[in-house]
Amino acid sequence: MAAARTSSLESASMAKPKKPTQPRTPTQPQATPAKAAKAAKAPASPRDRLFLDTGLALCAVEALVEHDLIKTSIRIPELAPQDDDDLDDESESWRDRFDNNQTEPIDQLLALLEQHRDKVATLREIQGMLIHIAEDYEIDLYSLAGIEACTRLERIEISSTDPKLDLSPLASLPALESVDLTCAHGVRNLEPLFQIASLKQVIGQLPERTAEELRRRNVEVKQPG
């Protein structure tokens, strides 16, 4: 028994002492090629975008696709609630799910526009609805900033519920002849229309005084229909 105990003690004394464990420093995950490619195609930050308003940018993409200036299979899906969604529920859960459903394709389309921003200057018409790049997406503009890049634009349809929408950027378009305000009848300040030197036609339900001033300037005022 004594010999056995001595042998155990000798074995224990010969065992290597354990090193104290060091806390692991977090390592950054390595970016996969797919993630790197996705990051490279990310849309520009708002301050670097050609258009401040995402809706206007999408209208530009729509026009480029319609006139075969660019090609894409990307489409913004329709927002369709699932069976268990309560449309009266004001929580953020289902709204976030809806937003996420459209965020990725919208970001991809914005990135595509930035890749072909030089072609925007060739556009002659911009419509206020999306047909080729969206299933069902309603445009509601809050800014026309950036429209100055469309130097050959002759016709534009504006869709907006914002009464404060500023139309003054349109005055910088040297070829603009027609402005369709059918879906922007809530815009209050229409005086920038008087500053568009090339303007020949305005479509929409305009206040009588505005309509009279436009006619005085040889601009046709046409009722929507």
All domains of the chain in start order, with CATH: 37-78+89-222 (3.80.10)
Can you give the pLDDT at residue 86? 57
Can you give the pLDDT at residue 25? 45
For residue 156, CA distances in Å to 43, 55, 129, 147 come to 25, 14, 11, 10
- Phi then psi for residue 157, to 5 deg, are -105, 130
Can you give the pLDDT at residue 48? 79
Render pLDDT for 92-138 as a digit per residue (tens, 0 to 9).
555 555 557 889 999 999 999 999 999 999 999 999 999 999 988 99
The dihedral through the CA atoms of 45, 50, 51, 57 has a sign that is: negative
Can you give the pLDDT at residue 90? 57
Can you give the pLDDT at residue 84? 46
- Helix (H) or strand (E) holding 102, with range, is helix 92-115
Can you give the pLDDT at residue 114? 95
Q: Residue holding tokens 């603009």?
A: 176
Is the pTM for the entire model greater than 0.95? no
Q: With a cut of 70, which residues of the chain have pLDDT below it?
A: 1-47, 80-99
Selection from 145, 156, 150 nearest residue 184 by Cα = 156
